[in-house]
Amino acid sequence: MKPCSSVIRLSVLVLYVLLALYAGASSAQEKKNLRVVFTGLAWNSELPFRVALARGFFKAQGLEVQPIFVRGGPAALAALSSGEVDFARDRRAQAIMRSRARGLDGVIIGAISNATNYQIVGSKSTRTLEDMKGKIVGVTGAGAFSDFAMRIFLRRKGIDPDKDVTLRAIGGSNLRAGALEKGIVAAAPFAPDDTVRLTRLGFPMLANLSDTLIIPQTILTSRVDFLEKNPETSKRFLKALILGIQLAKFNKADAIKAGFDAKLQGEIELVNQAYDLYAPALSGDLSVNVPGLQFMLDEDKRNGLVDGKFTLERVVNDKTLKLAQQELRAEGRLKP
């Protein structure tokens, strides 16, 4: 009986070795040089990735990552859909949901920020939200995320965005700031860095939307095709980024230093002040705010922008993220 048992144990051992070799060979064939597209260089959306880059978290996972900058969300989505890039950091969760509903291969695999990283800044004669009534409020563009966020926020504050104020498409942050300074608009939403600059000039911050508007603003996307062909690489990429976002969220001084090391620009005191506005909204482990996405999807359905039968399960693919979190937890590297 003993020889038989020994043979069985030996056979099992050989099987494990073969499986390990097969897994290693499969992993070796996966793509290791990754291209990641971005649409902006703001600290609030870039810091986790730049931290992971500067601190060598991607290299530690055996990956080489090339950041690609493009202007505008549509260009980023086109680059992802065409396969020119492997991952995209986007501020337009609704655009991904709408493109997925049309059949494009783009899915949400994680979240950088699970709340709205805008603050409403008023003109020097607009000191409260009530002061906005009957006046023009600037947004980036009709249907843009800033327009959507302002409408939802105002409704929750008892202000009708279609009757009590006039939402007007102004353009980018520089144009909105100029309109505010010239008195063309009574208020407008701004990213944290711009908010700090404007408040230094005496313009009042009327509200921080991230305190009350818990809907995802900055998400991470990929293609189902890429995830299926490169499961190990995708998991390692997410592990590195989780480590980056943890440092960004929980270690202010080291995170800001890493941001400068990774060539993010800014005046140090302004960067420090802006950090306090956006850091609480960072997702600690890239987990997706599903209720927030569901709310956005329901709004799109209500407005006829997405088919009523479309479900969130078709656009959120966090299986790889959960594996990455599980491994980091087992390694003792995932903060609770």
Per-residue pLDDT tens over the stretch 1-35 = 444 555 445 454 444 444 444 445 455 589 899 99
Structure-model confidence comparison of residues 117 and 31, the more confident one: 117
- Average model confidence (pLDDT) across the chain: 89
How confident is the model at residue 19, as a pLDDT? 45
Bridge partners (DSSP) listed for residue 176: none
Per-residue pLDDT, 9: 52
Structure tokens at 197: 């600059």
Mean pLDDT value across residues 35-64: 92
Question: What pLDDT is stored for residue 36 in this prediction?
Answer: 94
DSSP per residue, 75-123: HHHHHHHHTS-SEEEES-HHHHHHHHHTT-S-EEEEEEESS---EEEE-
Q: How far is CA 211 from the centre of its chain?
A: 17
Q: What is the pLDDT of residues 127-158, one digit of tens each?
A: 999 999 999 999 998 888 899 999 999 999 99
Task: Look at residues 118, 119, 120, 138 and name the one whose alpha carbon lies nearest to residue 130.
Answer: 120
What integer pLDDT is reported at residue 2 of this predicted model? 47
What mean pLDDT is predicted for residues 256-279? 94
pLDDT attached to residue 254: 96
Residue 245, pLDDT above cutoff 90: yes
Helices and strands, counts by H and E, the chain: 14, 10
| pLDDT of the residue at 27 | 52
Q: What is the pTM (predicted TM-score) of this model? A: 0.86
Q: Dihedral through CA 79, CA 110, CA 112, CA 34, nearest 10?
A: -40
pLDDT > 90: percent of the chain = 73
> Which has the minimum average pLDDT: 22-36, 81-95, 317-331?
22-36
Structure confidence at residue 1 (pLDDT): 46
The mean pLDDT of 287-297, rounded to a whole number, is 94
CA 220 to chain CA mean position, Å: 5
- pLDDT attached to residue 52: 96
Q: What pLDDT does residue 6 have?
A: 53
pLDDT of residue 28: 59
The pLDDT value given to residue 320? 97
The Cα angle at residue 312 between residues 300 and 67, in degrees rounded to 5: 90
Does 196 score more than 70 pLDDT? yes
Angle between helices 252-261 and 231-250 in degrees, nearest 10: 120
Identify the pLDDT of residue 91.
75
Strand partners, 122: 187
State the greatest distance between any 2 C-alpha atoms of the chain, in Å, as a whole number: 92
Nearest to 88 by CA among 74, 78, 96, 76: 76
Please list the residues that pair with 207 across neighbouring strands.
120
Q: pLDDT value at position 31?
A: 82
Q: Is the pLDDT of residue 40 over 80?
A: no
pLDDT of amino acid 14: 45
